[in-house]
Amino acid sequence: MTGEDESGRPVLRSSRWYEGDGLRAFSHRARTRQLGYLPQEHLGKPVIAVLNTWSDINPCHSHLRERAQAVKRGVWQAGGFPLEFPVATLSETFQKPTPMLYRNLLAMEAEELLRSYPVDGAVLLGGCDKTTPALLMGAASADLPAVFVPAGPMLPGHWRDQVLGSGTDMWKYWDDKRAGLIGDCEMAELESGLARSAGHCMTMGTASTLTAAAEALGMTMPGASSIPAVDSAHERMAAAGGARIVELVLRDLRPSAILTREAYEDAVTTVLALGGSTNAVIHLIAMAGRSGVRLTLDDFDRLARTVPVLANVRPGGRYLMEDFHFAGGLPGLLSRITGLLHLDRPTVGHTTLREQLAGAAVHDDDVIRSAGDALAGEGGIAVLRGNLCPDGAVIKHIAAEQDLLTHTGPAVVFDDYKTLQATVNDPGLGITADSVLVLRNSGPLGGPGMPEYGMLPIPDHLLKQGVRDMVRISDARMSGTSYGACVLHVAPESYVGGPLALVRTGDPITLDVPARTLSLDVPDAELDRRRAELQAPPARYGRGYGALYQEQITQADTGCDFRFLAAPGQVPEPYAG
Ligand code: FES
Ligand code: MG
């Protein structure tokens, strides 16, 4: 909407394309006739872009083609005019080197589509890991009214008498296979049992964490984020979102009114109470930047000290997202931490979050714990500092063996992930359970794209001895479904000369999570000497998107957005005449 006319009627942004006697407006109307619509079906109605990340290659979004139809149904019924826009899909499973390389590309695509077409509001369909932050970053920058429709978790996995969680149980059984506990027959059965339906990973991985964050921010319909993807309630939620966006356009309620500092703090609090993915740290910092909110690692650490972990969901807990949904879902969980939230801020569903949570309840106290019975008294993510990570690093300490959280051991350094894969099982490296595995060149530039290499594999010979966790350090990210004493997001990364580049095998490293420190116990003079010997690696990309990426990407502590996208700024509205 762009204001009101003399009689107080809202003036739609799309009217710049459609109304008036000019040649262009005539052409836009004629081309809409070409699409098969009557004038009365669309003129004067809010145009709603349905941005859809559906693709044949993305199993997490394979139902979104149908869901877009439900969204459109809601839009029509509320008096709007829906138009579907296919946008890039970011499949966590298939896209290499990592969809993180392309998060900002989808964000740009979303923003520019919304700006350049006759759009008054948007419904965003996504859920597989990076799609959620990407779509919300684009919508925040375009600042047109928007509702996010989360893809929803897939059905729980099953194998024999076991319930399987995506990612989490894949890692677990893969280690069992490497340890010789199960064989190829079992693995073949597992292959068909891990992922049983459309929908995103059903553990508290990055997808569930980020869609919950979107709900906590106030960008989804209430309770939307945990509805199973193939539940009929999911279709009803999509239709309700379609109806709601029309109302938001008429009220001119934009992301800038919803995505405030308070909203981002509540999203951080929510992620912590969920024991959610470490990836949320990077994405929420980037999303906040688009809204002009400076969110920092210190905000996460400060809030983490006050937020108990209440969601008993894998990998940090026991259950899966479907259990979480029927236990009350995110509204239930938020109803237990209302004292930590900003309740007087608007959401797309209600005038205030307080109103939105009014009827929320928990129906299973083991799945969604109370503060007095929390899985951990403090939030699940700790921010570390020290001479190995001057700009910070993170660890999901609730998903690690607790005795490793204060640990000193000798480094075993791998220069890149391929070398690690090729050599980690070599007994000649002398790796013991006390060693600290270090992987470098896996950051935003070094990876490139900061792949999810952070749960470094434990050598076979140690697995066979029953070792299931070790201290591991990298400038990579880690899948939200992973676990272990893995220090991640070391900033600055080794590729740009961060201290990780200076570590040598045998150097003692000390991790002290209670003190929030990570240190390389080598004298400064020696580190200076090593630094002087460092040589900058050659640029990886000579052309294309990768060249733009390497020129513009920021480090993990500031969210890995592109510099030219990272802050609000003036962008002219396109001339439509
Ligand atoms: Fe899509 Fe996990 S692979 S959410
Ligand atoms: Mg993941």
Measured in Å, residue 277 CA sits from the centre of ligand 1 at 13
Per-residue pLDDT tens digits of the chain, which is 577 residues long: 567 777 776 799 999 999 999 999 999 999 999 999 999 999 999 999 999 999 999 999 999 999 999 999 999 999 999 999 999 999 999 999 999 999 999 999 999 999 999 999 999 999 999 999 999 999 999 999 999 999 999 999 999 999 999 888 888 899 889 889 999 999 999 999 999 999 999 999 999 999 999 999 999 999 999 999 999 999 999 999 999 999 999 999 999 999 999 999 999 999 999 999 999 999 999 999 999 999 999 999 999 999 999 999 998 899 999 999 999 999 999 999 999 999 999 999 999 999 999 999 999 999 999 999 999 998 889 999 999 999 999 999 988 999 999 999 999 999 999 999 999 999 999 999 999 999 999 999 999 999 999 999 999 999 989 999 999 999 999 988 788 999 999 999 999 999 999 999 999 999 999 999 999 999 999 999 999 999 999 999 999 999 999 999 999 999 999 999 998 888 999 999 8
Helix (H) or strand (E) holding 394: strand 393-395
Tens digits of residue pLDDT in 377-406: 988 899 999 999 999 999 999 889 999 999
pLDDT computed for residue 171 by the predictor: 84
- The identity of residue 270, as a single letter, is T
Tell me the pTM. 0.97
Contacts of 239 (CB under 8 A, 6+ apart): 70, 71, 73, 74, 77
Q: Which long-range contacts (CB under 8 A, 24 or more apart) does 172-179 make?
A: 175/458, 175/463, 175/468, 178/460, 178/463, 179/460, 179/463, 179/464
- The identity of residue 121, as a single letter, is G
Distance CA 281, CA 266 (A): 13
Measured in Å, residue 414 CA sits from the centre of ligand 1 at 28
Cα distances (Å, whole numbers) of residue 526 to 267, 436, 493, 520: 42, 20, 20, 11
User: Above 0.85 for ipTM, yes or no?
Assistant: yes
Tell me the two tokens of residue 229. 């993807």
Tens digits of residue pLDDT in 119-141: 999 999 999 999 999 999 999 99
Ligand 1 pocket: which residues have CB below 6 Å? 60, 92-93, 128-129, 166, 200-201, 205, 207
- Please compute, for residue 439, the number of CA atoms within 13 A of its CA located in the half-sphere on the CB side: 32
Measured in Å, residue 103 CA sits from the centre of ligand 1 at 14
Task: Among the bound ligands, name the one nearest to the CA of residue 321.
Answer: 1
Q: Which atom of ligand 1 is nearest to the CA of 92?
A: 3
Cα dihedral 443, 447, 452, 458 sign: negative
pLDDT computed for residue 4 by the predictor: 75
Q: Whose CA is nearest to atom 2 of ligand 1?
A: 201
Q: Which atom of ligand 1 is nearest to the CA of 207?
A: 4
Measured in Å, residue 266 CA sits from the centre of ligand 1 at 24
Distance CA 48, CA 26 (A): 21
CA 141 to chain centre: 17
pLDDT computed for residue 1 by the predictor: 58
Tell me the best of 92, 203, 277 to mutate to test the pocket of ligand 1, counting ligand atoms within 8 Å of each CB and taking the most.
Answer: 92
Tens digits of residue pLDDT in 179-232: 899 999 999 999 999 999 999 999 999 999 999 999 999 999 999 999 999 999
